[in-house]
C-alpha cells in the first residue's frame, strides 16, 4: 500500500502601506492594516472557512483515515487572531481531531537563513512558542519558508533536533530516482526528507482550473488513477501545496472543493492507499537512500530555486540593507522595533520586487499589492530608511543616557 501525504501551507504576509518618500522620518506606521484586514477576510470567506469545514467533514466521513499536515506562519496566526478569530477556531478544531500534524517554520515566513543563522533560529523558536500557545503542539518536522532546502539547511535543522524536513523533489538532485520515497540527509542520516511530487502537487495547485491544459477538467477518478500509476515506484506520495489553492487560487466554481470532497474516499477505496502524516512517514517508512542537494531549491517558479526572492540587484540590496540593521535593532532592546524589523524580513516583500518574467506578466503580479516590482522596492526602501533613522535616534538617546550615568 502506497501512502499519500498531504501538507498545506497557511500564510498571509503583513503588507506594507503606501509609504512615500515624504513619510521617512515622519511616520512610524508601516503596515497596511486596512488592506491586510480586507484580504484576510476575503480569503477567510473564499478559502479558510469553507476548506476547514470540508476537511472536518472528510475526517469524520473517513473515521479519521484522512489526515494531513499544516504549516502556519506566525504572522498568519496573528492575523487570524486579529481579523477573524473564527478562522483560528476552525483550525484549532481541526488540530484537536488528532488527524492533523503541525510543522515547524520561521515565525515571520522569512529567508533569514540566507543572511543570519542566529535570526533564523530565533524565528524558528518564536514559531515554536506560538504553536504551543495556540495549539498546544510541539512540531517534530520542519519545513523552511517556500520549501527552500539545501544540504546545509538540512544539517542545521538536524542540529536543532528535528527528525524530518520537507523539500521540493528536485530533478537535479533526484536524477532517475522517484520522489515518492523517504530519503535521508547525506551527512546526518537520522534526518529524513519528504520530497514534494511536484507533478502531482502542481496538477492540483496550479493547473486544476487551466482550461487550455490538455488534462482539463481534472476529475477525482483521473487524479486517483495518476496516484495509482505513480505508486508503481514509491512508498509515499507527497502532495504539498498552499492552503489557498482551495477557493482562492482555484476558485470555488472551478470545482476544486468538489474535487477534494471525493478524493479521500476515492483513494481509500479497495485499500489501495492510506493517508499518512509527515512524522509517521519518516518513522514508519524506510529511507531508500540519501538525497544530496548542494544548491538551494524551492517550490517557486519554473526555476525552483531562490531567484524569486533574491535575483535582481534591488532584491539583493533590500536583503542586505535590512539584515545590516539586525545587530543595531537587537542592541536597542526595544521589542517594538525588533518586531517591526522582523516583519520586514517576511519573504513576500522580496517576492514583490521580482522582475523575472515581469514583461510577460506572471504569477508574481497576481500576488503583489504593487503596480510594479519597482514600486515594491521603493516602498520597502522608504520604510527601511525610516527604520534606519529611528535606530539612529534611539542610539543617540542611549548614548545621552549613558553619558548622564
Partner 1 sequence: MAQLLTEQKRKPKILMFGWEFPPYVAGGLGTACHGMVKALIRRGFDITLILPKNVTSSKEDGLTILGAEFFDFCVKTKIQEKLIENIRTIEIESPIEPYLTINEPLQMSRLSEEAIQQILSEEHKTVEHSSVAGNKSVYGDNLIEEVVRYNQVAGSIAGSLSFDVIHCHDWLTFGAGIVAKEVTGKPLLCHVHATEFDRCPGNGNDQVRHFEKTGCEAADKVMAVSQFTKDILINNYGINSNKIDVLHNGIDLASQSKKVEKKTNKKPKVLFLGRVTYQKGPNYFLEAAHRVLQVNSNVEFIVAGAGDMVDYLRGRAYELGIQESVNFTGPLKGNAVKEAYQLADCFVLSSVSEPFGLTPLEALSNRLPVIISKQSGVSEVLKHVLRYDFWDVERLASLILSVLTYKTLSNELQERAYDDLHPISWDRVAGNLEQKYFEVCESSLVAA
Question: Is residue 66 near partner 1 by the rule CB under 8 A?
Answer: no
Angle, vertex CA 241, rays to CA 290 and CA 343, nearest 5: 100
Nearer to partner 1, 83 or 323 (CB): 323
What is the smallest separation between the CB atom of 112 and partner 1, expressed in angstroms?
22
**Separation CA 126–CA 132 (nearest Å):** 10
Q: In 275-325, which residue ranges form alpha helices assigned H by DSSP?
A: 278-284, 313-324
In whole angstroms, the minimum distance from the beta carbon of 26 to partner 1 comes to 11
Beta strand ranges found along 182-311 (DSSP E): 182-184, 192-196, 236-242, 246-247, 250-251, 273-275, 287-290
Nearer to partner 1, 291 or 352 (CB): 352
* Count of residues that bind partner 1 according to CB under 8 A: 18
Find the DSSP H helices in 160-235.
Answer: 171-174, 198-205, 220-230
Q: Which is nearer to partner 1, 359 or 403 (CB)?
A: 359
What separation, in Å, do the N-terminal and C-terminal C-alpha atoms of the chain show? 72
Confirm or reject binding of residue 21 to partner 1 (CB under 8 A).
yes
137 is catalytic: no
* Rounded least distance, CB 20 to partner 1, Å: 4
Contact letters (x/-) for partner 1, 339-378, by CB under 8 A?
Answer: ----------------x--xx-----------xx-xx-xx
| Residue from 180, 297, 347, 382 in contact with partner 1 (CB under 8 A) | 382
Indicate the residue among 125 and 388 with the shorter CB distance to partner 1: 388
Stretch that binds partner 1, among 127-135, 166-174, 197-205, 311-319 (CB under 8 A): 311-319
In this structure, what is the dihedral angle of CA atoms 239, 240, 244, 248, given to the nearest 10 degrees?
Answer: -50
Between the alpha carbon of residue 219 and those of residues 203, 204, 207, 270, the distances in Å are 11, 10, 12, 19
Tell whether residue 45 is a contact of partner 1 (CB under 8 A).
no
Closest to partner 1 by CB, 152 or 358: 358
What does the block give as the cell for 290? 540519501
Catalytic residue, chosen from 101, 105, 146, 156, is 146
CA dist., res. 276 & res. 401, Å (int)? 58
Closest CA to 340 of 371, 302, 386, 372: 386
Q: By the criterion CB under 8 A, which residues form the site for partner 1?
A: 20-22, 312-314, 317, 355, 358-359, 371-372, 374-375, 377-378, 381-382
Amino acid at each position: 500500500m502506497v501512502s499519500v501525504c498531504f501538507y498545506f501551507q497557511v500564510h498571509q504576509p503583513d503588507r506594507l502601506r503606501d509609504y512615500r518618500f515624504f513619510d521617512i522620518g515622519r511616520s512610524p506606521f508601516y503596515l497596511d492594516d486596512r488592506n491586510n484586514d480586507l484580504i484576510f477576510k476575503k480569503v477567510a470567506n473564499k478559502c479558510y472557512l469553507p476548506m476547514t469545514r470540508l476537511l472536518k467533514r472528510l475526517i469524520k466521513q473517513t473515521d479519521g483515515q484522512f489526515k494531513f499536515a499544516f504549516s502556519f506562519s506566525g504572522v498568519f496566526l496573528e492575523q487570524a487572531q486579529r481579523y477573524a478569530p473564527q478562522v483560528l477556531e476552525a483550525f484549532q478544531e481541526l488540530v484537536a481531531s488528532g488527524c492533523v500534524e503541525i510543522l515547524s517554520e520561521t515565525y515571520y515566513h522569512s529567508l533569514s537563513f540566507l543572511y543570519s543563522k542566529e535570526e533564523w533560529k530565533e524565528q524558528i523558536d518564536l514559531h515554536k512558542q506560538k504553536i504551543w500557545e495556540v495549539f498546544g503542539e510541539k512540531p517534530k518536522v520542519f519545513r523552511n519558508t517556500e520549501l527552500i532546502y539545501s544540504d546545509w539547511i538540512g544539517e542545521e535543522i538536524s542540529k536543532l533536533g528535528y527528525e524530518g524536513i520537507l523539500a521540493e523533489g528536485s530533478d537535479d538532485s533526484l536524477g532517475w530516482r522517484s520522489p515518492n520515497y523517504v530519503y535521508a540527509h547525506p551527512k546526518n542520516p537520522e534526518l529524513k526528507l519528504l520530497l514534494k511530487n511536484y507533478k502531482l502537487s502542481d496538477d492540483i495547485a496550479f493547473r486544476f482550473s487551466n482550461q487550455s491544459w490538455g488534462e482539463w477538467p481534472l476529475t477525482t477518478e483521473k487524479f486517483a488513477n495518476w496516484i495509482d500509476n505513480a505508486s508503481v515506484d514509491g512508498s509515499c506520495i507527497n502532495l504539498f501545496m498552499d492552503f489557498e489553492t482551495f477557493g482562492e487560487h482555484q476558485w470555488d466554481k472551478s470545482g476544486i472543493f468538489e474535487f477534494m470532497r471525493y478524493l479521500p474516499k476515492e483513494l481509500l477505496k479497495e485499500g489501495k492507499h492510506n493517508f499518512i502524516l509527515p512524522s509517521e512517514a519518516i518513522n514508519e517508512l524506510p529511507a531508500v537512500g540519501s538525497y544530496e542537494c548542494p544548491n538551494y531549491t524551492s517550490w517557486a517558479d519554473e526555476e525552483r530555486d531562490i531567484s524569486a526572492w533574491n535575483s535582481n540587484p534591488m532584491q539583493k540590496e533590500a536583503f542586505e540593507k535590512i539584515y545590516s540593521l539586525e545587530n543595531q535593532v537587537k542592541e536597542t532592546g526595544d521589542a517594538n522595533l525588533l518586531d517591526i524589523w522582523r516583519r520586514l524580513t517576511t519573504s513576500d516583500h522580496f517576492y514583490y520586487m521580482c522582475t523575472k518574467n515581469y514583461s510577460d506578466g506572471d504569477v508574481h503580479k497576481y500576488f503583489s499589492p504593487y503596480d510594479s516590482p519597482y514600486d515594491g522596492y521603493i516602498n520597502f526602501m522608504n520604510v527601511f530608511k525610516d527604520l534606519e533613522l529611528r535606530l539612529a535616534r534611539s542610539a543617540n538617546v542611549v548614548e545621552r543616557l549613558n553619558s548622564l550615568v
